[in-house]
Chains A and B, each alone.
Chain A
């Protein structure tokens, strides 16, 4: 992580007219991609929940989606910072990626509301899993919808900066992405371990008092 930050600030050439906003790019896009990866992982684990009877998959699916939502929120925040730095506004509807993340963020927040309204048990596991699957189906569908919507909702006022990166920039980008993926993975493992430890403690307490 530290190496990535170092690379971003010292190695990547400064973009003359963008400055800080270009630096945000190295955070914003990898965070977004990582969020997608987390949601994908959550959906995969959800599929496992439905196929087998494992309670462990439910926990893994939940943790993955939790991470995904956190990174999704970060995407929106870094996206807003980038928009402010690039175009002077905190929000723009013309960034397809940002809008997509807003929709997904709403969707996955509802995941938690749904999950915690149902009593713990196999019913809750299955319902959460089904919802997670709907999430990944929603990602491409929403993406198309948002692109279609641009035709009539808002004219594209701001042109989006494409990643036309030079060699060193690209390396920096990959390093940043790798670092953030690693961070996400670590957070995932930590949270999962924490939850498993909770569970273990509770099982122990039950066994001792039964």
Chain B
């Protein structure tokens, strides 16, 4: 699904990633760990297709329309409601029966009651859950999740663990996290970064 060889990423003079190589099979789960600033976010953005490596080769077997990305920011419109956000992204991703699917996801993530409220009124945990809805909306084959457990309370964490376990069967996962214990059971590969290089 993903093959990376000698990935290097620099921003002008700043070298953020160097010498990253790994292979991830379809259906696998790669867990990326490392301290803050170790380059996890940059690596995940490369995998999602939001940035291109400065050097090295990165081959992702699926088109970007089959990739679901959860970043540091929720990638939503604060002044739109949950429904409006999901409707827009559902339309852009060409999700069939997007209203039904959005409704189903909102219910599953406990946001049905607030579906007509603007995202600006949500707590951080609720925003994160909506971001997850957006990530899963188009049933992507490859999920790239950057610290998905951030801001989630106990219920939210349990919910996400269940969701990930459910999708891990057919889909490929890349998860960057501070707390690998949530995804340990699913992991088929691990990568630890320190200062932009594999530790």
Direct contact of A and B (CB under 8 A): yes
A interface vs B, CB < 8 Å? 53, 55, 119-122, 124, 202, 206, 210
Q: Which residues of B sit under 8 angstroms from A202, Cβ to Cβ?
A: 13
Give me the 6 closest cross-chain CB pairs, A-B, nearest first. Answer: A120-B12, A121-B11, A121-B12, A202-B13, A120-B11, A119-B11
Residues 1-47 of B at the A interface (beta carbon under 8 Å) = 10-15
**Contact A122 B15, beta carbon cutoff 8 Å:** no
The distance in angstroms between the C-alpha atoms of A55 and B10, with both chains bound, is: 11
Apart from A121-B10, A122-B51, A202-B13: 17 A-B pairs, beta carbons within 8 A: A53-B52, A53-B54, A55-B54, A119-B11, A119-B12, A120-B11, A120-B12, A120-B13, A120-B14, A121-B11, A121-B12, A122-B52, A122-B54, A124-B12, A206-B13, A206-B15, A210-B15
- 20 A-B pairs, CB-CB below 8 angstroms? A53-B52, A53-B54, A55-B54, A119-B11, A119-B12, A120-B11, A120-B12, A120-B13, A120-B14, A121-B10, A121-B11, A121-B12, A122-B51, A122-B52, A122-B54, A124-B12, A202-B13, A206-B13, A206-B15, A210-B15
Q: Which residues of B sit under 8 angstroms from A120, Cβ to Cβ?
A: 11-14
Closest to A118 in B: B12
The distance in angstroms between the C-alpha atoms of A55 and B8, with both chains bound, is: 14
The distance in angstroms between the C-alpha atoms of A210 and B18, with both chains bound, is: 11
Chain B, residues 78-104, CB within 8 Å of chain A (1/0): the string is 000000000000000000000000000
Q: Which residues of A sit under 8 angstroms from B13, Cβ to Cβ?
A: 120, 202, 206
Q: Which residues of B sit under 8 angstroms from A55, Cβ to Cβ?
A: 54
The distance in angstroms between the C-alpha atoms of A55 and B51, with both chains bound, is: 15
The distance in angstroms between the C-alpha atoms of A210 and B196, with both chains bound, is: 12
Q: How far is the CB of A122 from chain B (nearest CB, A)?
A: 7
Q: Which residues of A sit under 8 angstroms from B14, Cβ to Cβ?
A: 120
Main secondary structure of the interface of B (DSSP, over half): loop
Closest to B16 in A: A121
Q: How far is the CB of A53 from chain B (nearest CB, A)?
A: 7
Q: Which residues of B sit under 8 angstroms from A206, Cβ to Cβ?
A: 13, 15
Q: How far is the CB of B48 from chain A (nearest CB, A)?
A: 16
The distance in angstroms between the C-alpha atoms of A206 and B54, with both chains bound, is: 16
Q: How far is the CB of B10 from chain A (nearest CB, A)?
A: 8
Q: Which residues of B sit under 8 angstroms from A210, Cβ to Cβ?
A: 15
Closest to B53 in A: A53
The distance in angstroms between the C-alpha atoms of A97 and B11, with both chains bound, is: 40
Q: Which residues of B sit under 8 angstroms from A53, Cβ to Cβ?
A: 52, 54
The distance in angstroms between the C-alpha atoms of A143 and B52, with both chains bound, is: 38
Closest to B51 in A: A122
The distance in angstroms between the C-alpha atoms of A121 and B51, with both chains bound, is: 11
Q: How far is the CB of A207 from chain B (nearest CB, A)?
A: 10
Q: Which residues of A sit under 8 angstroms from B52, Cβ to Cβ?
A: 53, 122
The distance in angstroms between the C-alpha atoms of A206 and B14, with both chains bound, is: 9
Q: How far is the CB of B197 from chain A (nearest CB, A)?
A: 9
Q: How far is the CB of B42 from chain A (nearest CB, A)?
A: 11
The distance in angstroms between the C-alpha atoms of A181 and B177, with both chains bound, is: 57
Q: How far is the CB of A52 from chain B (nearest CB, A)?
A: 11
